[in-house]
Structure 1
């Protein structure tokens, strides 16, 4: 089976200090081939090819992303990593760190709580206000003082004040949580099941286009409640970080799932058209 992926190529990194530990997404055991997602024209970016592009793996999602969830009105200071990617709660992010200022940050984190803020930035839109905490769950320090990290997305945050910019960014942040659902919980669960169904159809059709056996797609939701499942779905939209950022910033699970459902529906329409063309013109 295959993981759905945004139609255009992933954007390249603007930071020389961070390299992904793996060059591709590898969620769990059910993806070996990427599936292209349809991206609306206003979200597309020009294809650029540079080495060391970052990618965020969504290989390990759990129902609880932290043991002691902070209160939404808590204000804390958090070191920040501005990156050309979006980290979601529950997602896995492999990184290699070699720039001096971030090595300094890692030395500090190793003596504290191993948590920092990942926040999306690009040259066109600047740095976002909403990001996600990355907690270091595995690390390896090399002889030249570089670090290999495996991080996991935890709670979301909003930057309220920049405390300092050197040697690395530190900001005051408040925690961001989805609002309680306004409708029935069953309605939210139904919406999550519909999104999962679209994902399965996209994977199935993509496998067909790539000449792979159309096997039955296994359980993608894995007993996740709607909110963490919506984060998982958003994390698979690799290649469209601005759309991912918009999903991350939403404070309503239903709105996030509805937006993801629409993207999946557009993708399915695109793949259906591509499949029809391939049937008529097999050589193409």
Structure 2
């Protein structure tokens, strides 16, 4: 079964269960938000977040015109698997002329086609179910241990103390998405994790990546000051 979904291109990947804050100022996305606000109160206010493949940067907390420059075939500039975002909170920006949104990732989808004729992109999408896969439980335990090691080495490389780290979730799929979001990886690597055919495959890839990254960090005196894992994102 397919559905039409407003699309919000970003230069980052949203995962199910993770929170996404957005500041909306560009007119086409203000139009998208106005359409969400106009929905009946009991209707879900959802849109689709899709990562941009090349060259168009849109910071999640400072959104600009992500669709501009995509040309006649925007599908070529976007990854085909994204995540539905539920806009639980929508408020007008305190300076006026824009909106502040706090959305939460819910389900993955595949983009089948894109309609660029309106004020913002709209995709024909199909939902991608999350399958467990073989051995997800055992892999989850290994990923949790590897992620804790990764966090400790990352904190050590920054000469910081890892404090207040929350308990990791027991459910393998929830763990897989949280680790995917919290690990410092480039957009293509995160996108591959989002697109994994099942939880077990995602966890196996994360275990490989975490071991590699922890080994690299242990050999470095300092690392870039991108503070993404001092505190892991909280799952919904």
TM-score range, shorter chain: 0.7 to 0.9
Partner of 1:237 in structure 2?
A: 183
Residue number in structure 2 paired with 1:197: 145
Please state how far the C-alpha of 1:221 moved relative to its aligned partner: 1.6
Residue in structure 1 matched with residue 77 of structure 2 by the alignment: 126
SS of residue paired to 2:79: strand
Contact 1:119 1:129 in 2 (8 A): yes
Which 4+ runs in 1 deviate beyond 6 A? Answer: none
Aligned residue number for residue 92 of structure 1: 19
1:94-109 aligned at under 5 Å gives the runs 94-109=21-36
- Whole-Å separation in 2 of the counterparts to 1:218 and 1:107: 38
1:221 aligns with 2:168: yes
The aligned residue for residue 207 of structure 2 is: 261
Question: Would you say 1:146 and 2:98 are equivalent positions?
Answer: yes
1:214 and 1:128 mapped to 2: Cα distance? 34
Residue 156 of structure 1, aligned match among 108, 111, 132? 108
The answer on whether the counterparts of 2:132 and 2:173 sit within 8 Å (CA) in structure 1 is no
Structure 2: stretches of 5+ with no match in the other structure: 56-75, 222-236
Q: Deviations over 1:221-259 (max 9, x none)?
A: 233x10121111111134511101111111211110010
Aligned residues: 196
Structure 2 match to 1:208: 156
Give 1:175's match in structure 2, choosing from 121, 124, 127. Answer: 127
TM-score, with length taken from structure 2:
0.76
Gapped runs of 5+ residues in structure 1?
1-73, 276-284
CA distance in 2, matches of 1:146, 1:218: 34
| CA positional deviation for 1:180 | 4.4
Q: Which residue of 2 aligns with 1:48?
A: none
How far apart in 2 are the matches of 1:237 and 1:165?
37
- C-alpha separation between the residues in 1 aligned to 2:53 and 2:122? 19
1:207–1:238 CA distance, 2 compared to 1 (3 A): closer
Equivalent pair of 1:230/1:256 in contact (CA under 8 Å):
yes
Q: Distance in 2 between matches of 1:123 and 1:180?
A: 31
Give the corresponding residue for 1:20.
none
CA distance in 2 between counterparts of 1:238 and 1:212 reads 17
Q: Deviations over 1:160-202 (max 9, x none)?
A: 1223432111111100013342x3xxx3212111111011111
Instruction: Measure how far apart 1:139 and its partner are.
Output: 1.8
Structure 1 SS opposite 2:14: coil
Partners of 1:245 and 1:191 lie apart in 2 by 20
Task: Tell me, yes or no, if the aligned pair for 2:132 and 2:200 is still in contact at 8 Å.
Answer: no
1:176–1:251 Cα contact (<8 Å) kept? no
